[in-house]
Amino acid sequence: MHDIRLVGFDGDDTLWRSEDYYRAAEKRYEEIIGRYIDLHDAGTLRHLLEVERRNLKVFGYGVKGMTLSMIEAAIELTEARISARDLQQVVDIGRDTLAHPVELLDGIRDAVEAVAARWQVVLVTKGDLFHQEDKIARSGLADLFPRIEIVSEKDPPTYARVLAEFGIAPEQFVMVGNSLRSDIEPVVRLGGWGVHIPYALTWAHEADHGLAEAHPRVRTVASAAELPEAITRIAAGTAA
C-alpha cells in the first residue's frame, strides 16, 4: 500500500495536442526559408533547434520564444537576405500557433474525472503563462483542476516547491505525463511516482533524459483509459 495523496497531470501532449502544432509551425518556417536557400543542404530545422537551445536561457519555453528564435534563425540562415514581408509571415506563424484550437487527447476527460474522484489533482504545465492559461480555459478541463501550477522549468526543485505548497511528501505524489525528461524523471528523482503516457511526437529537446528503463516507481500506459487503473495499482502496491 502506498499513501498517494496528489496526482499531477502535465498539459501539452498529455491532456491536449501540442507538439503537432509546433511541427506544423516548423513546416511553415521551412517553407519560408526555402524561398532563399536550398532546403536539401541547409539543415534548416537542426539550425533552428540550435538557435532555440542557445536562446532558452533568455526566452524560456513557449511559442513566443520559439517565434523570436525563428526570426533570428531565419535572418542568420539567409544571411539577412530575407524580406520584411517574409519575416512578418514568421510572426504570423507564432500568432497562429498561440491561437490554435485546443484538442483534448482521446479519453482524457473521463480519465481525469476518474482520477479526480479519488485523489486530489493538480495540473503542472510548462511554458508561456498567458498561453497556458488560455489553453486551460479553452480546454474545458478547468473545472476538474482546482489548482494549476504553471512553471518555467520542470526540474526537481520546481516539483519540490509545488509539493511543499501542498504539504505532500514526494512518495505521496504521482505525476502523469508524456515526457520522461520533464514529467517523470525529476519526480522519480525526488522519490515520487511517474505514469508515462507516450505521445507519438516528442520535441528533440525533451527526448534527452537519464532514466533507466523499467524503473520500479514508473509505470507506462498506452492510453488515457488505462490511467486510473495504473494509479490504483501504485496506491495498492501492486507490482507494475
Q: Where along the sequence are the contacts to a copy of itself (CB under 8 A)?
A: 55, 58-62, 64-65, 67-68, 71-72, 74-75, 78, 80-85, 87-88, 91, 94-95, 98-99, 128-131, 133, 147, 150-152, 165
In three-state secondary structure terms, 64 is: helix
Taking the least distance from each CB to a copy of itself, the nearer of 58 and 117 is 58
Sign of CA dihedral 51, 71, 131, 93: negative
Query: Please, what is the minimum distance in Å from the beta carbon of residue 44 to a copy of itself?
Result: 16
Sign of CA dihedral 105, 110, 115, 117: positive
Query: Please, what is the minimum distance in Å from the beta carbon of residue 42 to a copy of itself?
Result: 17
Taking the least distance from each CB to a copy of itself, the nearer of 6 and 224 is 6
Taking the least distance from each CB to a copy of itself, the nearer of 60 and 198 is 60
Query: Please, what is the minimum distance in Å from the beta carbon of residue 211 to a copy of itself?
Result: 25
Query: Please, what is the minimum distance in Å from the beta carbon of residue 30 to a copy of itself?
Result: 18
Long-range contacts of 62-69, Cβ-Cβ distance < 8 Å, separation of 24 or more: 62/127, 62/128, 62/131, 63/25, 63/94, 63/97, 63/98, 63/127, 63/128, 63/131, 64/94, 64/98, 64/128, 64/131, 65/128, 66/22, 66/25, 66/94, 66/97, 67/91, 67/93, 67/94, 67/97
Distances 113 to 23, 44, 72 between C-alpha atoms, Å? 30, 42, 43
Query: Please, what is the minimum distance in Å from the beta carbon of residue 64 to a copy of itself?
Result: 4
Query: Please, what is the minimum distance in Å from the beta carbon of residue 59 to a copy of itself?
Result: 6
Taking the least distance from each CB to a copy of itself, the nearer of 75 and 201 is 75
Taking the least distance from each CB to a copy of itself, the nearer of 101 and 210 is 101
Q: Which three cell numbers stand for residue 200?
A: 507519438
**Parallel, antiparallel or unpaired: strands 218-220 and 173-177:** unpaired
Taking the least distance from each CB to a copy of itself, the nearer of 1 and 58 is 58
In three-state secondary structure terms, 66 is: helix
Q: Which amino acid, residue 92?
A: D
